[in-house]
Every structure is written in C-alpha cells, then in structure tokens.
Amino acid sequence: MTGLDLSSPVAVVGTGTMGQGIAQVALVAGHPVRLYDPVPGRADAAAEAIGARLDRLVEKDRLAAADRDAARARLHPAHSLAELADCALVVEAVLEQLEAKQQLFRELEDIVEHDCLLATNTSSLSVTAIGGALRNPGRLVGLHFFNPAPLLPLVEVVSGYASDFSSATRAYETARAWGKTPVACADTPGFIVNRIARPFYAEAFAVYEAQAADPATIDAVLRESGGFRMGAFELTDLIGQDVNESVTHSVWQSFFQDVRFTPSLAQRRLVESGRLGRKTGHGWYDHGADAERPEPHTAEKAQAPAYVVAEGDLGPAAELLTLIREAGIQVREDEEDHGTRLVLPSGGQLVLADGQTSVEFRDVVYFDLALDYRRATRIALSASQDTAPQTLSEAVGLFQALGKTVSVIGDVPGMIVARTVARIVDLAHDAVAKGVATEEDIDTAMRLGVNYPLGPFEWSRRLGRSWACSLLDDLHQRDPSGRYAPSLALYRHAYATEKREGTS
C-alpha cells in the first residue's frame, strides 16, 4: 500500500505552532492543504504565517521561488469543517483534551468521505480512547510529529487498539513520502520517545534530590561524558518545566502510577513556583539578560599516579587502559583476575559505576560511564566520606593526566550516566517485549526524536548484554522501591546470554 496521492487534499485542524508545522510539511510535499481552526481569524493568520516561513526558505535558498508560489496557491484557510469534506487526510492538532478531540472527530465523521484517513497528533493521550468515540475507529491513527515539525524528521505512527492495519500502513507511507522518518508503534502511554526518555530526566533529578550534585554539574556530565546533546536540566528549561512534568505525570498515571515513572518532587516545586524555564526567564537556571550560567564542579589539579594495577579488562571502560599507557603512566597487569578495577599506588581502588556505593567498601572511588572515553572531555568520580583523601587525589590526577576535566559528586549508586543509560536500556527491552515497537524503530526514534548519541539497543550491544541488568539489580538492592528492578525482558535477555556462555 502507498501513501496519499499528491493531488489529494490534506486538512489540518488546529493552527497553533504544531498545526502550522504539519501543514507546512504537507504543503511543501505537494498537497493542497486546508487549515481550519474553530476560533475565527486563526486559520487566516496561520496561512499568512506559513507563507512568511516559505518566504524565509526562499531567502535562504532552501526553496525555489516558483515552488513557494505554487505552495502558496495550494494553501487555503477553511472557515467551517464542511469545507474539509473532500480531504483524503485530516490531521488534528487541537488542545490535549480527550473530550475536545473526540468531539472533533465525531463531527468530522459526518462530513468526510468513508475512506478519509483521520489522524491525531496527540503526544500524551490514548489514540484508542480518541477513536473509541467514532463509529468507525479503524480509520483513526496517531501521527505524532515532533516540534518543529518542518525540521525534525521523526514521526511516530501509532496504531490504536481498533486501528486498521491498512490505515496505519497508509499513514506510515504518507509520512515517508513527505520526507519524514516514520516509526511504527502500538498505542502505549508515551508511545516510544516519551515513554523511554523518562529516565533521562528522572535520574538527573534524583541525583539532584539526593544532593549529590548541582544541575550544572549533572548537565555537564551528561553532555561531556554521556555524549547527550543537552543535559536534563537545560533541556527541560527549553521544553518548559510545566510541559515536561505534564508528560511525565501523564505517563505515570497511564501506567497506573508505576514507580518507574514517578514524577520528581523537585520539578513539581519548580512548576508551583512559576519557574517554567526560558519562557518565564527562570527555571533550573536563571535566563535573565544579565544572568551568569553557573559553572559545573571541577576538581582542582592533582598529581597523577606513577602507575596503576589493572585487575581485569575494565569491561565497557577497557579503552582507558590504552589511554593511560598513552599518557605515559605504567599499567601493571595482575595475572590473577580479581575483577574489573584499577588499583592505585595508595592501595585504593578505582571502579566503573556498577550500582553499588563507595561507602560499602574500603577505599573505593567510582568513575562514571562515558560514551567514548577517548573523546569524553569530563569524567565524574564519586567517593564516600570514608574514602582516603590520597585515593581520591590519585583518581582525580589519573583522569586529569588523560586530558579530562573531573567532577566529584556524592556517593550515589550508579552515578549519573551509568544509571541513566541502564534505565533507558531496560525500558527499551520492556517495550519490545510488550509489542510496542521493534528494536530498530526504538533506536531510530530515540536518536531522531530526542537526539540521543546512541539508541538503547546500540548502547546495549556496546556495553554487553548483561551490563544494564547487573547494574540495575545492584541499584534495586539499595532502593527496593521497584524503581530500579530490572524488567523481566531485560532479565531474560541477560540470563539467556549467561546460559549460552556456560555460567550459572
């Protein structure tokens, strides 16, 4: 099955930022487009705004003037729903209110032809519930674009419980014909991106609430060690704290208050105070004209150790051994494999974050996960009040000798990047096991929808199939609330690997 013919009219109902963006995408693809908004005058204003954006594309040599003129000629404001009667596709982008969307589609069902495809751009409501108000719910699907729709390539094509396979396929092929990258998913709370992205925010907020690090430091570690484009605090300031919290709350409620999706109390207080981010001038950060951005914690210069003793291959951090040698520091290898750690001259140990805490052991400093230890510019270390100062100093000096800026945070299990990535990997495995989407589509969605450096399954393959399960199991022992309990899907994935490798 193919997508819509380019001669087929497309309608967009709701002319806010998202509605205008979707209309522009369909228009540039070649369709006649009709804009409708129940508020008088808004459709005309939206058509003018879209025309102005097309003008800017011409000015930037991204669109030919002739194509701009043709697109303008195909764009028509509609002043009643009746004017959408011959449209082959109607995309709804009105308020995120279930009753409003249901009422709109009930009205449309009496106006459009029986083969007209109906689509909702909802980001948080159930496509199944929206379609439940229709006589023929099979023709309703979700087409979830990401803002700004003309620029971001991802579209989640969501099949409700009653959506016809043919409708979902038609929507998928239409999105692809429009130059987008569609991914198919079932109707689950948060779909793919907003479901699997929750730990990126939640774990950063949890580290902050534990007073282990400040927002600037957590953001810096996520960017400079984890490889994420933005940290959780700066990103939610950009999105809007109220918007981000609303999505988190919706997913949490939709999953019957599953502890894995519990909202952050610190973020709730921020919203209650009216500090919603850039749009109000203050969120986690002060965005005033004269405000200075707080600097992340950076350790003072320390002396590098003359040597380290490597016990084991350091697993996901194995590249560190090469970097240490390149820095001129001797690496002595212990012939008896006692684990995966570095022993410092003081006798203290340097261990990759594993879900345990430094206070449980004698003289242990943990270091956080990095996307790429060679390219990482910052590394986080954690130690307890009982860690010997000399051990911490040697650990700091070691990473500084590798050209890294070092941030020392509190003694929280799993640190920052490691616990975040482990939980993202877990939710991704759980989603596949429950038929939400394929591994490939989930990786695509997380890379394109929220600009993650790797998809969850790409992370999983790089880190080892049992890595995330092991770390989360250790975290779960220290926080038995259920938040960190590995999903059955992740457990099966890791356990099957161990059985094949002959372990017990």
Eight-class DSSP state of 501: T
Amino acid sitting at position 151: L
Q: Which residues of 260-292 are buried (b: 16+ CB within 10 A; e: fewer)?
A: bbbbbeebeebbeeebbbeeeebbbbebeeeee
Give Rg (Cα) of the chain. 26
User: Has 156 been annotated as catalytic?
Assistant: yes
Choose the catalytic residue: 109, 156, 311, 394: 156
User: Has 245 been annotated as catalytic?
Assistant: no
The candidate with the shortest Cα–Cα distance to 218, out of 368, 336, 74, is: 368
d(CA 257, CA 250): 9
The candidate with the shortest Cα–Cα distance to 416, out of 253, 227, 251, is: 227
The candidate with the shortest Cα–Cα distance to 460, out of 452, 448, 468, 472, is: 468
Choose the catalytic residue: 194, 244, 407, 460: 194
d(CA 36, CA 52): 18
User: Has 113 been annotated as catalytic?
Assistant: no
Eight-class DSSP state of 136: -
d(CA 35, CA 84): 9
Q: Which residues of 17-26 are buried (b: 16+ CB within 10 A; e: fewer)?
A: ebbbbbbbbb
Choose the catalytic residue: 8, 121, 123, 382: 123
User: Has 121 been annotated as catalytic?
Assistant: no
Amino acid sitting at position 235: L
The candidate with the shortest Cα–Cα distance to 93, out of 111, 83, 105, 77, is: 105
Length of the chain: 504
The catalytic residues are 123, 144, 156, 194
